A and B are shown apart, each in its own frame.
Chain A
Amino acid sequence: MSLVELGATALLAELEAGRVSSVEAVRAYLERIDRYDGEIGAFLRVDRDGALAKAEEVDRRRRAGQAVGRLGGLPVAVKDILCARGELTTCGSRMLANFRPPYDATVVSRLQAADAVLIGRTNLDEFAMGGSTENSAFQKTRNPWDLERIPGGSSGGAAACVAADMAPLSIGTDTGGSIRQPAALCGITGLKPTYGRVSRFGLVAFASSLDQVGPLARDAQDTALLLEVIAGHDPRDSTSVDRPVPPYHQLVRQPLKGLSIGLVREHYAAGLEPEVEAAVREAARVFQSLGATVKEVSMPHSKYGVAAYYIIAPSEASSNLARYDGVHYGYRTDEQAMLAELAAEQALYQSAGTSAAEPDSPLVRLYRRTRSEGFGPEVKRRIMLGTYALSAGYYDAYYLKALKVRRLIRQDFDQAFAQVDMVAGPVTTAPAFKLGEKVNDPLAMYLVDLYTVSANLSGIAGLAFPCGFSRGLPIGLQLQGPPFAEERLLAACYMYQQVTDWHLRRPSLS
């Protein structure tokens, strides 16, 4: 068995036993990246030298009997939206193509402190806005199961690199499904933690009240290992919750007794592909066979989730992205060209003998050009949506209404969790679609988030993992639990993965 097939937990055991060195492991993954990432395009940048240097250092310490962090020498890929001091952090945007933050995201610091080997930065939809990773300003990422298809998004690179065994562990972010949906479409395990479980400091904000950093890995155990390292209170993030971090990696193997699972009636409406529904229902039967009780629950407001999400997320995004104005950092338009453009316009107005149309001031033109050149179309679309929704006269009808829906959806969950420990359902209506299939249909693209946005709107935890295949493409199951029920979700997933092998299947890469 090759090193890259072991998965994080098994590989860590080998490292700790001294049977494998971190350098060997990192080399194996780098080799894998060399071989396959040309086609897949999961990584924006691979830090070969940095990774090997760190691996050597960890090996040296381990050999000398010194303390080694929790992830001692395991490679971890990081979505290119978490800041790392002095390193490019592009957010998949032209706007930040050359941006090097002077600080580390808390998650990055925690990974470093745990002696993770940060192997590279993964591709994403620009500013995490999208569900296919096609909105990256730099490259497309392909689904390892079918290179004609998208890997999901926005953490498409994060999911694809794990699915193709180019990294055992990977950090993603989830604002409306951006971890769970690509995890499902790539056949791996991905967790969106409870809002506040993981610090957002240094995560470049898309929608602050929805964003959450989370782990992607091969299975429940590996996911638990990574969560244990990145979770915890951070005084630099006022929204992070001060609550002890359970030993997830240890707890994940404890079987749950008397588990009750709800199937949400409203999930099985028109639009859900029969194969996906069949796989989900089959997964429920597997849980029953493991002793769980399964019953139907209702979440009447879930159908408004996407609509509320596409008001709230763009509203926050329009505000969060206002700072990219070309003044203080990041992309700035060519000022000479800008001034020439203004001068030409002025001349035109004069020759036309009209003063009716006043040209922009240089400042306004600087903003206008910088932002129209620096942002891609989807980002602009959301900024416009959000700006509109927050405008005077529309605020009550859109933003406030969306907040009401948000509360109702949370109530639905609360009521469901009064009856069952967690709800199970599909992650997406269908397996991965083809590249380019939905790029010209934003609405169809937004509906991809149908089953995932509710967890973000409610702040609860959601876990996605493979539960079947349709025409050779993975199908995901989603378990959603109450706030801070991560250990139960992971333990349920572990139980399931003990009796199924979907998570062990690998795409055949040539």
Chain B
Amino acid sequence: MTTRYELIIGLEVHVQLLTRTKLFCGCSTRFGAPPNTQTCPVCVGMPGVLPVMNRRAFELALKTAVALRCQIAPFTKWDRKQYYYPDLPKGYQISQYDLPFSSDGCLEISDPKGRFERKRVGIIRVHLEEDAGKSMHDEAHGRADSRIDLNRAGVPLLEIVSQPDMRSPLEAKAYLTELKLLLSYLGVSDCNMQEGSLRVDANVNLHVYTPDGHLVPTPIVEIKNMNSFRAVERALAYEAERQFKVWQETGQRLGDVPKQTRGWDDVANITRPQRHKEESSDYRYFPDPDLVPVIVSEAEVEAVRQSLGELPAEMRNRLEVAYNISPYDSDVLVNQGQALVAYFEQVAQQCGDGKLASNWIQQDVLRTLKERTIGIDEYPVSAQRLAELLRAVRAGRVDTMRGREVLARMLDTGRTVDETMAELGIAQLDEAQLMALCKELVAENPKLVADVRAGKLQAAGAFVGQAKRKNPNVNPARVRELVLELIQGQSEG
């Protein structure tokens, strides 16, 4: 029996905003400080203290939502999400419930390798909330010596909820990659998954197409604990198979069983059911009376729109047109971030050849960055110097192969193009030397001369090859010109 199914994926992403201070108090948000050293009465939830909204966090959130083409609510409020947990000192989390500050946006994803069709992933909502603290405990074993670190409590988090618009682990990964890229272009988050500044949960189910032509949705499962994009991909692939097996065994449809939560085990490569959090079914949301609603005007939204700068999608298009590079190339460059694109543009403009700049950066620069695990800002060869080298290549002062040698050496020595070429003995032959060499070649190769005369122009290429063997520094184009001139001169004489 052949039953087809489609994987339906929605992602819920939490990103920590790059503010200096927390969402409702003045404590630092720096990662890695000793436990409970970045706390104050407000984020510890002491009696009588009051939250005051961090305007900067709201601005960053607004920026993100506008970049995700969301509708911005003119009026938004704060709600309390209530549950008891030791890392939640107030007994509630300040979040946004029924009136998030933004909704109905989208993010376009595509695959330069063409493995899926370009598509728009809908964004249901983006809202701002405070993070909880961190518990390190062993509640299950009857011990009461849990430890709590509240440094993270109150750190601003943006929750970005997508529509269930993704159909494969690959699409999910592309969405996350594009989202992360957008956030880093906007400068709103560092998206560091190890430090918890980007967290992903997935809602997954199947649309099973039965042989009799019906579409059956299976129960939705929430997957947590995915600590890398790679883990997301693997967890989703695993879940697709698992859920299909469950469907075949039980025939359970959406609505037959309550929503299940499963955790990804990165070592065992499986998902496992997770215990439900106490009272998770009813958070008793209600508007936080300690905070005033936030009013956002059209003008403010417009100002944010103006301040966004160039976003990845626009940048890809512009690079393609301005530098005449392929969509694949612009994708690779843009995905490396703004600093690399700026580097590329400088090189391309100064050497006058976008395609050449793109090739060299993709093949040589990116390899070095990867090998050395450094960023473009730490790359030892400046854009000016690389452009200089590429100009030399274009002018035929050095060919591509030797040019690579020059670049490799410049990486280690930090010297200029001319110095390095001199060191490597790459000096251009002057016109007289080149003429002498060409005369020699013409004299030595009567057969080739005859071929050229007979109109076999590819024979001129053989002269170039021989010239290079005699002296690697010859300018191939000039050799070709001179040889042809000499042969023609001979026939006239």
- Using a CB–CB cutoff of 8 Å, the interface residues on chain A facing chain B are 82-83, 89, 91, 96, 99, 101-103, 105, 200-205, 207-209, 235-239, 315-316, 318-319, 322-325, 327-329, 335, 339, 342, 361-364, 366-367, 387, 390-392, 395, 399
Contacts and interface: CB of A to CB of B under 8 A. Distances in A.
B139 A239 contact: no
Interface in B265-302: 278, 281-282, 284-286, 289-292
A105 B86 contact: no
B140 to A, nearest CB: 8
Interface of B: 41, 44-53, 80, 82, 84, 86, 89-92, 139-140, 142-144, 146, 148, 278, 281-282, 284-286, 289-292
Contact of A363 (B53, B89, B90, B139): B139
Contacts of B49: 103, 201-202
Contact of B90 (A322, A390, A392): A322
Given A362-B139, A390-B286, A392-B281, A91 B47 contact: yes
B290 A208 contact: yes
Given A101-B46, A325-B91, A392-B284, 18 more contacts: A89-B47, A99-B47, A101-B41, A201-B50, A237-B52, A239-B292, A319-B80, A319-B286, A322-B82, A323-B45, A323-B89, A328-B45, A329-B44, A329-B46, A361-B140, A387-B284, A390-B286, A392-B281
Contacts of A235: 52
B47 A204 contact: yes
B281 A399 contact: no
A101 B91 contact: no
B281 to A, nearest CB: 7
Contacts of A387: 284
24 contacts: A82-B48, A83-B47, A96-B47, A101-B41, A201-B50, A202-B48, A202-B49, A208-B289, A238-B53, A238-B290, A239-B290, A316-B286, A316-B289, A319-B80, A323-B47, A323-B90, A324-B47, A327-B148, A328-B45, A339-B144, A361-B140, A363-B146, A391-B282, A395-B286
Contacts of A324: 47
Contacts of A392: 281-282, 284
A21 B45 CA distance: 42
Interface SS of chain A: helix, strand, loop or mixed? Answer: loop
Q: Which 7 A-B pairs have the closest CB atoms?
A: A322-B91, A209-B289, A208-B289, A390-B284, A204-B47, A204-B48, A202-B48
A328 B44 contact: yes
Question: At the interface, is chain B mostly helix, strand, loop or mixed?
Answer: loop
Nearest to A366: B144
Contacts of A339: 142, 144
Given A322-B84, A327-B89, A361-B139, A236 B286 contact: no
Contacts of B142: 339, 342, 362
Contact of B84 (A82, A329, A367): A367
Given A209-B289, A392-B282, A238 B50 contact: yes
A202 B47 CA distance: 7
Contact of A399 (B45, B51, B286): B286
A102 B41 contact: yes
Contacts of B285: 390
Nearest to A400: B286
A323 B91 contact: yes
A52 B109 CA distance: 73
Contacts of A236: 50, 52
A201 B376 CA distance: 48
Contacts of B91: 319, 322-323, 325
A460 to B, nearest CB: 17
B82 A363 contact: no
A356 to B, nearest CB: 19
Given A238-B52, A322-B90, A366-B144, A101 B284 contact: no
B284 A391 contact: yes
A65 to B, nearest CB: 37
Contacts of B144: 335, 339, 362-363, 366
Contacts of B292: 238-239
Nearest to A367: B84
A3 B476 CA distance: 111
Given A327-B89, A363-B139, A319 B48 contact: no
Contacts of A342: 142
Nearest to A364: B278
Nearest to B133: A328
A366 B47 CA distance: 20
Contacts of B89: 323, 327-328
A89 B52 CA distance: 23
A333 B118 CA distance: 59
A391 B278 CA distance: 15
Contacts of B281: 392
B24 to A, nearest CB: 9
A319 B44 CA distance: 15
A203 B289 CA distance: 14
Given A208-B290, A335-B144, A361-B139, A200 B50 contact: yes
A99 B51 CA distance: 21
B286 A205 contact: no
A154 to B, nearest CB: 16
A200 B143 CA distance: 39
Nearest to A203: B48
Nearest to A330: B47
Contacts of B92: 319, 322
Nearest to A387: B284
A221 B139 CA distance: 59
A339 B142 CA distance: 8
Nearest to A392: B282
Given A325-B91, A362-B143, A315 B50 contact: no
A200 to B, nearest CB: 7
A325 B84 contact: yes
Contacts of A201: 48-50
Contacts of B290: 205, 208, 238-239
Contacts of A316: 286, 289
Most chain B beta-carbon contacts within 10 A, residue among A209, A236, A319, A335:
A319
Nearest to B80: A319
B201 to A, nearest CB: 22
Contacts of A105: 48
Given A323-B89, A327-B89, A367-B84, A205 B48 contact: yes
A209 B146 CA distance: 35
Most chain A beta-carbon neighbours within 10 Å: one of B47, B86, B92, B139: B47
Contacts of B84: 322, 325, 367
A367 B80 CA distance: 20
A101 B50 contact: no
A238 B86 contact: no
Nearest to A201: B50
B44 A101 contact: no
Contacts of A318: 284
A238 B51 contact: yes
B38 to A, nearest CB: 15
Nearest to B24: A238
Among A200, A315, A322, find the residue whose CB has the most chain B CB atoms closer than 10 A: A322
B286 A103 contact: no
A83 B49 CA distance: 9
Q: Which of B49, B51, B146 has the most CB of A within 10 A?
A: B49
A93 B411 CA distance: 71
A331 B451 CA distance: 103
Contact of B291 (A99, A238, A323): A238
Nearest to B144: A362
Given A102-B41, A238-B290, A322-B92, A83 B86 contact: no
